[in-house]
A and B are shown apart, each in its own frame.
Chain A
Amino acid sequence: MKRIFNQVIFSALLGMFFISCQSSGEKKKTGTVNSDQPAAETANNQPVQAAEKVHQENAVYKKYCLVCHQADGSGVPGMYPPLGKGSWTGKDPKELVLILTNGLKGKVEVNGEFYNSEMPAQPQLTDEEIADVLSYIRSNFGNSFDPIDVELVKKIRGGK
């Protein structure tokens, strides 16, 4: 086990966040959305504007995330962790934003399975794209977590 810990190489900043945020709970979305129901289906019943937003979020996911995390968010066993139920998707938004902007390297454990690879940093993403793609992931693949507001992303990135 010691070896496993040695191999977990987070950036110092990320490490601090993980320690300080481990206990942050999975904030279940309140309201009428069933946790098993993909948000895309829900969005179909909503005004056109919302449907377009979902489409836009998909575009970011498709361009930067899909190749590794897969179209259904199931990831690649042993390499890229899944994003569905029980994954890190429900973690504190700060952690998620920092994973996107700083990347992640080394062995991680998700749902009792280990994944060892490198996620490249995505600093080129705008605050809007980060908010969009994280909100998309948090409301798809069986997840039903609160969306992440662009203002929060701005605050975390220090107004970048």
Chain B
Amino acid sequence: MKKLAFLIITLALWGACQLNSNKNLNSAKGIVSDKDNAGLKLPDGFSALVYADNIGHARHMAINSNGDVYVSLSNVKDGGGMVCLRDSNKDGRADIIKYHGIYDGTGIKIRNGYVYFGADTVIVRYKLTEGELVPSETPEVIAEGFTAQSQHATKPFTFDEDGFMYVTVGAPSNACQVQDRTKGSPGIDPCPILELHGGIWRFRAALLNQDQAKEGYRYATGIRNAVAITWNNVENKLYALQHGRDQLGQFYPDLYTDEQSAKLPAEEFLSVNDGSDFGWPYCYYDPVQKKKVLAPEYGGDGIKAGRCSNAENPIMAFPAHTAPNDLLFYTGSMFPERYRNGAFIAFHGSWNRNPLPQEGYYVAFVPFKGGVPSGDWEIFANGFAGVGEVKSPADAKHRPCGLAQAPDGSLFVSDDANGRIYRIAYNGQ
């Protein structure tokens, strides 16, 4: 009898514990988060669930006003480079998953009833029909003429509210050397890559068949590669984050130690204006000296600024090589007040900080006020990698790559390692 009572009490306690950990993601709709918060570490009051899993190398996301989710894949899977997901039974998780479109890539956004898709050499759009998950079969070309690249080839993009589209055209190079990533090879001066790469180009959002060289307008330059790019509608302003250059120590061991090379340069958070020049390839941002420094390929010694004294500084510096891959300004009402209009940033995680451990593999948050950071950045969601220490990027089970805000205010995070889509909600008091 005693044993039975003990068993009942134990079961009751266990059950209570389970109930407690199964927080309601959205209590009004009866959505329940995963017991382990999908493996994530989150601030108090937040919980998470796996919205979809193993859908392919999931890059960026767009969420329609009806809650349908569209994800770009870096490689076509099951006959499509775009994944269309719907939660039809309203349990908070996708139950209809369709693959669509011949293009694969990174950029994806919804605008005026179309899904726009950024393949590496062309930006197209597919028409959405109200009520239907899968968009039109035939895409229309919006922007084209981008050259095929084998570095920084992705075409992420964003829209302002005045009918323009802003597209990152990354540099197919590390530092514009004569021989890319080769020790001793000097930087080309002036760098010819900047004519059609290494910046952000502006196009008409709804005009077909625009050629980059003819109709594209170079809105900002000196940006090596900005996978994270977004228009902030509250500030009416463009923001982006740069992937800083690599291998300072490997190519200039006399100027940089391995540790300095692992920590230089900063990943830069950029406030982008028409005509901005952030200095790549001539300059990089040193977060210790807090200034733009002349790159060694252009005669720099790790200290002097030279021509870089005119290059624009970032509004915030992040650890080197952490690869910011998406940026989202939160405008929902689900999260607490301090998150409102602040920036979430998905850090894909580094590959070249050896011999130091790799860094990143988390989603960060930056509070904002009046268009500039109002406090230091913090790690918002961590644990994606699923291992204690990432020594090599392949160790990471999941890598944050894309961010999107759902109509209910929950935050979606995509993972391009194993194709998991996370949904993070706030349910605390």
Binding site for B on A (CB under 8 A): 1, 3, 6-7, 9, 63, 66-68, 70-72, 74-80, 82, 105-107, 114, 116-118, 120-121
Q: Do B247 and A67 touch across chains, with their CB atoms under 8 A apart?
A: yes
Q: How far is the CA of A1 from the CA of B181 in the complex (A)?
A: 29
Interface: B393 (CB within 8 A): yes
Q: Which residues of A contact B392 (CB under 8 A)?
A: 70-72, 74-76
Q: Do B148 and A70 touch across chains, with their CB atoms under 8 A apart?
A: no
Q: How far is the CA of A70 from the CA of B151 in the complex (A)?
A: 18
DSSP majority for the B interface? loop
> Which residue of B is nearest A76, CB measured?
B351
DSSP majority for the A interface? mixed
Q: Do B181 and A120 touch across chains, with their CB atoms under 8 A apart?
A: yes
Q: Which residues of B contact A66 (CB under 8 A)?
A: 354
Q: How far is the CA of A3 from the CA of B74 in the complex (A)?
A: 13
Known: A67-B247, A67-B250, A71-B392. A118 touches B354 (CB 8 A): no
Q: How far is the CA of A75 from the CA of B352 in the complex (A)?
A: 11
Q: Do B351 and A70 touch across chains, with their CB atoms under 8 A apart?
A: yes
Q: Which residues of A contact B352 (CB under 8 A)?
A: 67-68
Q: How far is the CA of A118 from the CA of B150 in the complex (A)?
A: 6
Q: Do A78 and B394 touch across chains, with their CB atoms under 8 A apart?
A: no
Binding site for A on B (CB under 8 A): 57, 74-76, 102, 148, 150-151, 153, 172, 179-182, 246-247, 250, 351-352, 354, 391-395, 399, 416-417
Q: Which residues of B contact A114 (CB under 8 A)?
A: 74-75
Known: A79-B351, A107-B150, A120-B179. A72 touches B391 (CB 8 A): yes
Q: Do B151 and A67 touch across chains, with their CB atoms under 8 A apart?
A: no
Q: Do A82 and B150 touch across chains, with their CB atoms under 8 A apart?
A: no
Apart from A3-B102, A9-B150: 9 A-B pairs, beta carbons within 8 A: A1-B76, A6-B148, A66-B354, A70-B351, A75-B394, A77-B417, A106-B150, A118-B172, A120-B182
Q: Which residues of B contact A105 (CB under 8 A)?
A: 150
Q: Which residues of B contact A116 (CB under 8 A)?
A: 150, 153
Q: How far is the CA of A107 from the CA of B151 in the complex (A)?
A: 10
Q: Which residues of B contact A6 (CB under 8 A)?
A: 148
Q: Which residues of A contact B395 (CB under 8 A)?
A: 74
Q: Which residues of A contact B399 (CB under 8 A)?
A: 77
> Which residue of A is nearest B76, CB measured?
A1
Q: Which residues of B contact A72 (CB under 8 A)?
A: 391-392
Q: How far is the CA of A67 from the CA of B256 in the complex (A)?
A: 15
26 contacts between A and B (CB under 8 A): A3-B102, A6-B148, A7-B150, A9-B148, A9-B150, A67-B246, A67-B354, A68-B351, A70-B392, A70-B394, A71-B391, A72-B392, A74-B395, A76-B351, A76-B394, A77-B399, A80-B351, A82-B394, A116-B150, A117-B151, A118-B150, A118-B181, A120-B179, A120-B180, A120-B181, A121-B182
Q: Which residues of B contact A82 (CB under 8 A)?
A: 394
Q: Which residues of A contact B74 (CB under 8 A)?
A: 78, 114
Shortest Cβ-Cβ A-B pairs, 9 listed:
A74-B394, A70-B392, A76-B351, A74-B392, A120-B181, A76-B393, A120-B182, A106-B150, A118-B150
> Which residue of A is nearest B102, CB measured?
A3
Output the least CB separation between B152 and chain A (Å): 10
Q: Which residues of A contact B76 (CB under 8 A)?
A: 1
Output the least CB separation between B3 and chain A (Å): 48
